[in-house]
Homo-oligomer: A and B are copies of this chain.
Amino acid sequence: MLGARRLLGALRLCSSVSCPRPRATAKLRVRDALGVQDASGECVTVQGWIRSVRSQKEVLFLHVNDGSSLESLQVVADSSFDSRELAFGSSVQVQGQLVKSQSKRQNVELKAEKIEVVGTCEAKAFPIKYKERHPLEYLRQYPHLRCRTNALGSILRVRSEATAAIHSYFKDNGFMHIHTPVLTSNDCEGAGELFQVEPSSKIKVPEENFFDVPAFLTVSGQLHLEVMSGAFTQVFTFGPTFRAENSQSRRHLAEFYMVEAEVSFVESLQDLMQVMEGLFKATTEMVLSHCPEDVELCHQFIASGQKWGVDLQTEHEKYLVRHCGNIPVFVINYPSELKPFYMRENEDDPQNTVAAVDLLVPGVGELFGGSLREERYHVLEQRLARSGLTKAYQWYLDLRKFGSVPHGGFGMGFERYLQCILGVDNIKDVIPFPRFTHSCLL
């Protein structure tokens, strides 16, 4: 076997960059062009899509956006460049000199020397219209085009930034990343709301499961993380989870993302709450410092008043949050019979509570849910027996037989987090391709 070092050495030797083509001018992303301090005529090339065109007698102004930032780069050109193809939505490549702008609205602008229309845009057929602020509901009809608007651009940049921040937070705090499986044969926890998976009917062998057992889409990576927390003291996962919930509410998706963490050797719910809080703060601080203008756009043009779900439970949550001054609120120690078998029983007879914790936030409701897990073999054994799950969860009980440790963890709904910090009312607008009852476009 080739060693990794030799592989790397080999790759260096046979680098594909051995014959770089000469580039006339530096290619710059719009974000980087906008960030140039004291521009003084540098020759650059910028590529992107036209967001606006303003034609004056002798000058033509274009705004070019490439998705790297909300702000576009102003291109100033001689009016001789004007053409019908230089229109909203067209893709262009502009070569010119980066200079200090005379206007106060931007630092720099690009004095065009060459403008090339790369791809034209059929204005009539294009569902996104120049200078119009389309409602998010309207844009949902065009999942393949809506990312070309300012609103979705900002939301998706924040989503990307938050994703990176979450990975960083866990890495910086010594957590190991685990890819928990999407396909699972556990079917008990999610009960009635599971999706089942089979090879497509075209190749389905009748009367036989592909996996020999029924397979479902995961509703949570928790149990698999618990497996890992028997060897690694801090683990996390960040992946898709699924519910076949027949709901088109603004708070539910059939496919959504969860951030889940599990910590070994915890002593109390406080240990978990510190991680939850650290995660929320670190992620939000990173988003605010890396894309403040995207957050600003959402708050200015998208965020609506506080709307809450209408079911009773959500109303309770709303009351609690309001009662505490409209700030995030931790709720702990729930009645045992309301919660699943794996939550650790508190020693508080006769109240019979379990060590569970939820974090409720204004506008969204439950953002985090977590608990200590029952690590005591005999207590867990009894609870499984009571629920008739002993056989299915023998492997889970096994984990408590070999060096069991007190542990606990939590999950955070990633889309709800984005709704919370951006004030976006409908969950379908904070995920690139929303899936819900009656809808699986593209």
Most-contacted residue by chain B among A11, A50, A324 (CB, 10 A): A11
A5 touches B288 (CB 8 A): yes
**Apart from A89-B403, A125-B401, what 9 extra A-B contacts exist at CB < 8 Å?**
A2-B306, A147-B230, A156-B178, A160-B178, A192-B202, A192-B203, A195-B200, A211-B254, A211-B438
Q: Distance in Å from the Cβ of A351 to the closest Cβ of chain B?
A: 22
Most-contacted residue by chain B among A15, A160, A163, A295 (CB, 10 A): A160
Contacts of A265 in B (CB 8 A): 47, 93, 118
A126 within 8 A of B: yes
Number of copies: 2
Q: How many residues of A are counted as interface, with CB atoms below 8 angstroms from the partner's CB atoms?
A: 155
Report how far A303 CA is from B273 CA in the complex, Å: 42
Select from chain B the residue with minimum beta-carbon distance to A280. Answer: B11
A299 touches B1 (CB 8 A): yes
Report how far A328 CA is from B30 CA in the complex, Å: 35
B197 touches A442 (CB 8 A): no
A442 touches B328 (CB 8 A): no
Listed A/B pairs (30) with beta-carbon separation below 8 Å = A4-B299, A7-B328, A8-B285, A8-B288, A14-B329, A17-B270, A47-B265, A66-B264, A67-B232, A91-B404, A121-B402, A121-B403, A145-B230, A145-B398, A147-B228, A148-B231, A157-B176, A160-B178, A164-B171, A179-B431, A181-B432, A181-B433, A182-B217, A183-B440, A193-B199, A194-B200, A211-B254, A211-B437, A211-B438, A395-B442
The stretch from A73-81, A105-113, A420-428 touching chain B is A420-428
Contacts of A395 in B (CB 8 A): 144, 442
